């Protein structure tokens, strides 16, 4: 099967349940799209990588998840998710503010989980957060 300009070995996945096959395909597609990313870091970049970390952890690839999470945490800091966003006059987007807040706390929670599970240091320190 030709996928993204490369041949994908479908025979390797014969007999595998469709939902497992789909999850592998979606993960591969997300990796391919994220490698094409350039320019300014966006909230969607953090969200996508966070979902990749969750996928890897769910597939018992926790070391890979921890490795990718390092990038995810740094991107969250780069877009300022750890800071309370002050609404600008006339430009309040409550949906975006909630997405930023919830994404940060999802990153924070995964950081605590991976640190506890692997016995490694946390990437996010409470002193660096001013979001409540």
Res 3 pLDDT > 50: no
Mean pLDDT score of the chain: 84
Q: What percent of the chain has pLDDT over 70?
A: 80
* pLDDT for the residue numbered 5: 45
Res 90 pLDDT > 70: no
* pLDDT for the residue numbered 93: 83
Question: Which of 7-16, 89-98, 99-108 is predicted least confidently?
Answer: 7-16
CB under 8 A, 24+ apart: contacts of 42-50: 42/79, 43/79, 43/81, 43/96, 43/99, 43/100, 43/103, 45/75, 45/79, 46/72, 46/75, 46/76, 46/79, 46/81, 46/103, 46/107, 47/99, 47/103, 49/75, 50/103, 50/106, 50/107, 50/110
* pLDDT for the residue numbered 16: 54
pLDDT tier at 11 (50, 70, 90 boundaries)?
low
Res 117 pLDDT > 90: yes
Mean pLDDT, range 40-53, rounded to an integer? 92
């Amino acid at each position: 099967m030709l996928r993204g300009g490369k041949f994908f070995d479908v025979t390797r996945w014969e007999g595998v349940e469709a939902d497992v096959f789909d999850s592998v395909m979606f993960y591969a597609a997300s990796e391919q799209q994220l490698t094409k990313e350039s320019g300014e870091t966006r909230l969607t970049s953090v969200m996508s990588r966070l979902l990749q970390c969750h996928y890897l952890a769910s597939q018992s690839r926790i070391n890979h998840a921890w490795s990718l999470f390092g990038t995810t945490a740094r991107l969250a800091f780069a877009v300022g998710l750890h800071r309370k966003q002050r609404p600008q006059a006339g430009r309040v987007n409550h949906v975006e503010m909630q997405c930023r807040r919830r994404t940060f706390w999802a990153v924070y929670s995964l950081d605590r989980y991976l640190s506890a599970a692997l016995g490694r240091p946390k990437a996010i320190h409470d002193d660096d957060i001013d979001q409540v």
